[in-house]
Structure 1
Amino acid sequence: MKTLGLYAAFAMFAMQVLAQGSFDPNLERINISEHLGNTVTSDLAFTDQDGHAVSFGDYFDGERPVVLILAYYECPMLCTQVLNGLSSALDEAKWKPGDSYRVLTVSIDPEENATMAKAKQQTYVAAVKDGGFHQDWQFWTGKDEAIKSLAEQIGFQYFYDEKRDEYAHPAAVYILSPERKISRYLYGISYPASHLEMALGDASEGKIGSTIDRIIWRCFHYDSTTGAYTMIAFRTMRIGGALTLILMGVPLFILWRREATRKRSTHPRGAQPAKLAS
């Protein structure tokens, strides 16, 4: 009976771990649906960091690809990590914005304004050595309709978390060709300069990338209970641990059944042990 109790304890603990490791339903609302090869429309209206009205197509000159980031300027965590990661890549890259490509950050929060965009631009342009390329790394704001249209066209799925008063969104940067075609998705919060340069080189030649990098991004997801982006790998380890416990428990249960069967066959119910001869 002790063995059966141990197995039951294992099973109950495993079920609890699995329950705790179940995915937040909000994860389905945060995703990137790749639209490689699609062309983003040019007439989306925004406002640049200087308060000027601009159109999305105006940023493309037909010669240089564009690195696009969707973020928001009062983001408490992930946007900063994405922008920091891109800033580090630009700092290490051989070519800076303006040389052979441009960078564009668009806020997903329609409540943000040009003043906030300008402050963010100054921070990040200054963070890259040999900066001074303000016209080639711009920060825009816009109305909800234009923001949602751009997000939908590039496959950026996000939502506003009312409980936490913040936006939940995926982490990636997007490489667009000089003709506004989606050439590559770079996932996560860190972008090696060599990968960025290769992606920009392919985009400038009109090449369309693959979806391999998407696997890396799937390791990160938003947890609405904490407002944090955690690694699915950790949850996978918890689930794996629970399965290990189950696998350990099953042999114990089998051993218990065998032992119980052996005892019943040795001492049938109602039988009395033989008396020793005097």
Structure 2
Amino acid sequence: MISLNSLIQSLTFVLCTSFFLGTFAYAEEKLPKELRGVEVKQKLGARIDLTLPFVDHKGKERTLKSYFADNKPVLLTLNYYNCPMLCTIQLNSLVDAMKKLPKGYGKKFRVVTVSINHREDAKLAAAKRKNYLKQLKRKDIEWEFMTGKKKHIEVLSKTVGFKYRYLPKKKQYLHPAVVFFVTPDGKVSQYLGLPYVTRDVKFALVTASKGRLGSIFEKLIMSCFIYNSTDGQYTPYAYGIVRLSGVLTVIVLAIMLLLFWTRERQRVEKMT
């Protein structure tokens, strides 16, 4: 025989489930048709074809490989230069995050922005590059703005899981806002979503560099955070915080014991 409490609990579960499913279905139904399929499907570990040719801001054709020549990780963004809003918000947020990186840190990585609009040219790329470098005010950060052919843009976008859509009537692109962190050998190691935080950018660069970037202290701090692939951000990690606290406690105790031992030794030497 089913008790009254069990019946109430079951009914509550059914009602809550129905409510959330109904809300989800409503949200899906209300999502504009144009936005369906505009998303990022994370492909961690995917290898980018570094032989893909694009055109730099000077109008010179270069393969992506030329930006991975000296073991530096690459911070990659896919935008378009005539974007009326989202690209500006995204790149401004990235500028704010990179501004606060330690002095000289920019020499350890590169930033590459590729336009998803094959109609845009090097002249427009150069103008955008000049504008953002002026905002950034960091001579140590190398930031390239590129254009390319449609087929090459599509290959790159597909590899990193970046799905966008062109609206011919509005002459605009619907696209996500995400930063891809790529290892020196061309593998996607991390995705970051808006807003960009200096801490998260540093952590993602340390991961992309396979540990070559970042001081020992930064790596210890990084152990207190865990990468949330759903949000594309780093969040506090309880076990990591406890572990780091334990390590710091041991270090402090060791220093105190060393100081105590040194003082005792000096006291004994004076007595003798």
TM-score, with structure 1 as normaliser = 0.65
**1:97–1:44 Cα change, 3 Å:** farther
1:32 to 24, 27, 40: 40
Say if 2:196 is the partner of 1:191.
yes
Q: Distance in 2 between matches of 1:109 and 1:19?
A: 30
- The secondary structure found in structure 1 opposite 2:120 is coil
Letter in 2 for 1:201: V
Deviation at 1:19, TM superposition (A): 8.6
Deviation at 1:98, TM superposition (A): 4.3
- Kindly, what percent of the aligned residue pairs are identical? 34
**1:25–1:215 Cα change, 3 Å:** farther
Q: Which has the larger radius of gyration?
A: 1
The answer to whether the 8 Å contact 1:183/1:206 transfers is: no
Unaligned segments of structure 2, at least 5 residues: 1-21, 213-224, 234-272
Say if 2:122 is the partner of 1:114.
yes
Q: Distance in 2 between matches of 1:119 and 1:57?
A: 24
Residue-by-residue CA offset, 1:206-249 (whole Å, 9 max, x unaligned): 79x987243369xxxxxxxxxxxxxxxxxxxxxxxxxxxxxxxx
Deviation at 1:95, TM superposition (A): 4.8
- The secondary structure found in structure 2 opposite 1:137 is strand
Residue 172 of structure 2 corresponds to which residue in structure 1? 166
Of 143-152 and 120-129, deviating more is: 120-129
Deviation at 1:119, TM superposition (A): 0.5
Q: Distance in 1 between matches of 2:40 and 2:211?
A: 22
The answer to whether the 8 Å contact 2:191/2:232 transfers is: no
The answer to whether the 8 Å contact 2:104/2:140 transfers is: no
Deviation at 1:24, TM superposition (A): 1.8
Unaligned segments of structure 1, at least 5 residues: 1-13, 218-278
Q: Distance in 1 between matches of 2:77 and 2:226?
A: 19
Residue 147 of structure 2 corresponds to which residue in structure 1? 141
- The secondary structure found in structure 1 opposite 2:107 is coil
Letter in 1 for 2:144: Q
Residue 92 of structure 1 corresponds to which residue in structure 2? 100
2:139 to 131, 135, 157: 131
Q: Distance in 2 between matches of 1:52 and 1:114?
A: 9
Q: Distance in 2 between matches of 1:32 and 1:167?
A: 15
The answer to whether the 8 Å contact 2:40/2:176 transfers is: yes
Residue-by-residue CA offset, 1:21-59 (whole Å, 9 max, x unaligned): 722233322011111011101111110000111001111
Say if 2:212 is the partner of 1:212.
no
2:86 to 78, 85, 88: 78
**1:58–1:97 Cα change, 3 Å:** farther
TM-score, with structure 2 as normaliser = 0.67
Deviation at 1:90, TM superposition (A): 0.8
Q: Distance in 2 between matches of 1:179 and 1:144?
A: 24
Structure 1 runs of 4+ off > 4 angstroms? 18-21, 95-98
**1:101–1:83 Cα change, 3 Å:** same
1:179 to 169, 182, 185: 185
Provide the aligned C-alpha RMSD in A.
2.6
